[in-house]
Amino acid sequence: MALIAPAFASGSAAATASPAPPAEAAKPAARPTQGRPDPVAMMAAQKQAIAPLAFMDGEWRGTASTTLPDGSKHVLTQTERVGSFLDGSVKVIEGRGYEADGRVGFNALGIVYFDNARKALRFQAHAMGNSGEYSFKQTADGFVWEIPAGPMTIRYTATIKGGEWHEVGDRVIPGAPDVRFFEMNLKRIGDSSWPAADAVAQE
């Protein structure tokens, strides 16, 4: 709730026989105190924007394939776990890719949130030493997020329906055919209480 601190002014004048002191220069009028944004209303707007992304929630497993510069493909066993956090005001995503020998070959964290100032969804991504914040748009059956890269745009397009998550990554250059370099196919394997579960108790 916005808190506005009121300003009070008080003063008194006593009638005396002595001459009045010289008048002080008029002080500038105090500016009205501006209230803080209402956190309840801000979180309500965020929760309303995030709620339609519930189709992402749960645990997922499948494969992810990346085309390397030499044209070969690097395939991982890919897992994703997705859940709401901060009372449903943000969506948190962890992607973890396993090599054939069981080593973790890829690990990423994503946070989708509603930016109240922009009135738009945003995506914060952290992966293998890199990080950034990007546009994120929900579609009829999935989402699209993009990374600006000079004249090129790296676009990820996901379709999630019927317990299946299909996502592709394309390099998009104006006036040239899109170049696909990434494809992921997952199946939903169960619910997840992550990341909201197991909070530290008060005592």
List the domain range (segments joined by +) for residue 144.
57-190
State the pLDDT confidence band at 37, using cuts at 50, 70 and 90: confident
126: domain CATH number is: 2.40.128.20
**Total number of domains in the chain:** 1
Residue 28 or 145, more confident: 145
- Could you say which DSSP state residue 170 is in? E
Instruction: Report if residue 14 sits inside a domain.
Output: no
Instruction: Give this prediction's pTM.
Output: 0.80
State the pLDDT confidence band at 6, using cuts at 50, 70 and 90: very low
Q: Where are the beta strands (DSSP E) in 29-117?
A: 58-67, 73-85, 90-98, 104-115
Instruction: Report if residue 107 sits inside a domain.
Output: yes
pLDDT, tens digit (0-9, with 9 covering 90-100), for 72-109: 999 999 999 999 999 999 999 999 999 999 999 999 99
Burial of 165 (0-12, 13-18, 19+ CB in 10 A): buried
Instruction: Report if residue 105 sits inside a domain.
Output: yes
Instruction: Report if residue 7 sits inside a domain.
Output: no
Instruction: Report if residue 32 sits inside a domain.
Output: no
Instruction: Report if residue 52 sits inside a domain.
Output: no
Instruction: Report if residue 98 sits inside a domain.
Output: yes
Query: What was the pLDDT predicted at 34?
Result: 64
Selection from 5-14, 29-38, 147-156 with the highest mean pLDDT:
147-156
Cβ count within 10 A of residue 191: 10
State the pLDDT confidence band at 121, using cuts at 50, 70 and 90: very high
Instruction: Report if residue 96 sits inside a domain.
Output: yes
